Amino acid sequence: MNYTRLNTNTLFAHVPFPRKRRRESIVDGKMKKMPHFWLLEVSKERVGKPLFYGLKIMDTHLLLTGGVEKMLRIFNLNRPDAPPREVDKSPGSIRTVAWLHSDQTILSSCTDIGGVRLWDVRSGNIVQTLETKSPVTSAEVSQDGRYITTADGSSVKFWDANHFGLVKSYNMPCTVESASLEPKFGNRFIAGGEDLWVHVFDFHSGEQITCNKGHHGPVHCVRFSPMGKSYASGSEDGTIRIWQTSPATADENEATGANGAAGKVKVGANEAARKIEGFHISKDGPNEG
């Protein structure tokens, strides 16, 4: 089985694949240490700014972070010496962050408080809250900008990304930490959590399509690739597994709009790794073969 080793400990990272850059970059944050920028092609390390839990890159040059300081920070990667734009007033430690539609709107959730908060960057205020009973551990904006996918407790929810109403909510077979909507057809989604498995569900019915086994610890993050031909899962076991989707017939595409899992490629951390907390595959990644 082919895999790439990442010489790091705990990953709190989002993984961008810029279209104009053929090398894969990883933003990696370590507890009580500095986040690092990795180029997998050359395995070099560039030291960044202080640690945050959530990291997200917008248009390959804006880095959004949030963490225990209850503050959002926006770094301009083209100006590494410039101070970040800071947005405070978060009601709790920040668990996850995401851009919504533009670099003027941010989604965030807290580690111990339910709900997803919508921030106006210009005013620095929370303008909308998507209410949930449990803290939201994952929030993803769909590639077409229509849906916000969240995971909280044992449920996966889909919200209208423009009007912010709840569209669908499904109970999961276990406590889930992450979910991701298939980007090309939008007819299925993946979820991972405490049962160590990566589940694939039908978006319209909530029925399970398949279940991928292979991790040896809880799954903390799952994401589809930009074209939906594969999806990745990060786990407590210190590995990122990339699950390849199988070719589908025309009838299968018409019926499901997506593909079932056919195999996996393990991207492993070194033996000292503790767990993978999160990652992100950017919308403008390289073409998938």
pLDDT at residue 54 in the model: 56
pLDDT for residue 276 = 59
Compute φ and ψ for 288, nearest 5 degrees. Answer: -95, 135
Q: Is the dihedral of CA 134, 135, 141, 142 positive or negative?
A: negative
CA dihedral 168, 172, 177, 183 (to 10 degrees): -50
Q: How many CB atoms lie within 10 A of CB 259?
A: 22
Q: What is the pLDDT along the chain (289 residues), one digit of tens a residue?
A: 233 333 333 333 333 333 333 333 444 443 444 444 443 333 333 334 334 455 555 656 888 888 888 999 998 888 889 999 999 989 999 999 999 988 889 999 999 999 999 999 999 999 999 999 999 999 999 989 999 999 999 999 999 999 999 999 999 999 999 999 999 899 999 999 999 999 999 999 999 999 999 899 999 999 998 889 899 998 999 888 999 875 443 333 433 333 334 445 554 443 334 565 666 565 554 455 5
**Amino acid found at 37:** F
The pLDDT assigned to 127 comes to 96
- In this prediction, residue 204 carries a pLDDT of 97
For residue 34, what are its two tokens?
């500095």
Q: How far is CA 164 from the centre of its chain?
A: 20
Burial of 265 (0-12, 13-18, 19+ CB in 10 A): middle
What is the C-alpha to C-alpha distance for residues 44 and 25, in angstroms, rounded to an integer?
A: 10
Where along the chain do its domains lie? 11-278
Q: What is the pLDDT of residue 239?
A: 87
Please state whether beta strands 219-224 and 11-12 pair in parallel, antiparallel, or not at all (unpaired).
Answer: unpaired
Write phi, then psi, for 250 (nearest 5 degrees): -60, -40
| Burial of 131 from C-beta contacts in 10 A (0-12 / 13-18 / 19+) | exposed
Give the three-state DSSP class for 92.
coil
Q: Which residue has the tokens 């979820």?
A: 191
Helix (H) or strand (E) holding 253: helix 250-256
Q: How far is CA 248 from CA 133, 145, 216, 257, in A?
A: 38, 25, 29, 9
Count of helix runs (H) and strand runs (E) in the chain: 1, 24
d(CA 23, CA 102) in angstroms, rounded, equals 25
| Pairing assessment for the beta strands 276-278 and 155-160 based on DSSP bridges | unpaired
Angle at CA of residue 76, ends 73 and 79, nearest 5°: 130
Q: What is the pLDDT of residue 58?
A: 60
Length, in residues, of the chain: 289
For residues 235 and 277, what is the distance between their CA atoms, to the nearest angstrom? 7
What pLDDT shows up at residue 281?
A: 61
Is the CATH number 2.130.10.10 carried by domain 11-278?
Answer: yes
Q: Is the dihedral of CA 37, 213, 218, 137 positive or negative?
A: positive
